[in-house]
Amino acid sequence: METTFDMFIETEVPEDELIVSRTDFSGKITYVNETFAEISGYRPEELIGKPHNVIRHPDMPKSAFADMWATLKRGEVWEGYVKNLRKDKGYYWVYARMSTVIKDGKPVEYKSVREPASREKKIEMQNLYDKMRAEEEGQIRIVLYVDNDKLDAAAALEKA
């Protein structure tokens, strides 16, 4: 058995900006705001027209999205923690709220607005999703948390 080791960098989501996207009913992206593009590492035009799973992270369990779609199709709002994949294979965590856009009384699109997640929640959700993936898909990966704040503090001390 061969053991491999990979490291991926976390991008911190800013506190004061919302990450917004909209999709058609099949989940194809119709709009992203500048912050969404920046955080995911894409240019907006690379994302428009693509299925939203372009930023799906392999750490996300299938059942989370099954629940999300079932909730949206009932016309309800889904809220939850999502780990997303950047273009450069790094990742970022968000707390997402997904809902149906209604115009003139009719559903026209889906939209999602996201905000940052706390450090504690990211660790808790990583552990939960690892467990869910192991149960659902027999997929076992060991994910270690690297504290960006501590890395930055160490780098600053080294410079001083």
Ligand X SMILES: Cc1cc2nc3c(=O)[nH]c(=O)nc-3n(C[C@H](O)[C@H](O)[C@H](O)COP(=O)(O)O)c2cc1C
**Which residues are registered as beta bridge partners of 112?**
21, 98
82 class by beta-carbon count within 10 Å (0-12 exposed, 13-18 middle, 19+ buried): buried
Please tell me whether residue 112 binds ligand X under the rule CB under 6 A. yes
- Contact of 132 with 61, CB cutoff 8 Å: yes
Please tell me whether residue 65 binds ligand X under the rule CB under 6 A. yes
Strands 19-23 and 106-116, sheet pairing: antiparallel
The rounded distance, in Å, linking the Cα atoms of 150 and 116 is 18
As measured in angstroms, the least distance from the Cβ of 127 to ligand X is: 19
* Interface pattern 69-88 for ligand X (x via CB under 6 A): -------------x-x----
As measured in angstroms, the least distance from the Cβ of 106 to ligand X is: 17
Please tell me whether residue 98 binds ligand X under the rule CB under 6 A. yes
User: Of 28 and 152, which CB lies nearer to ligand X in the complex structure?
Assistant: 28
Residues that bind ligand X (CB under 6 A): 21, 23, 27, 52-53, 55-56, 60, 65, 82, 84, 98, 110-112
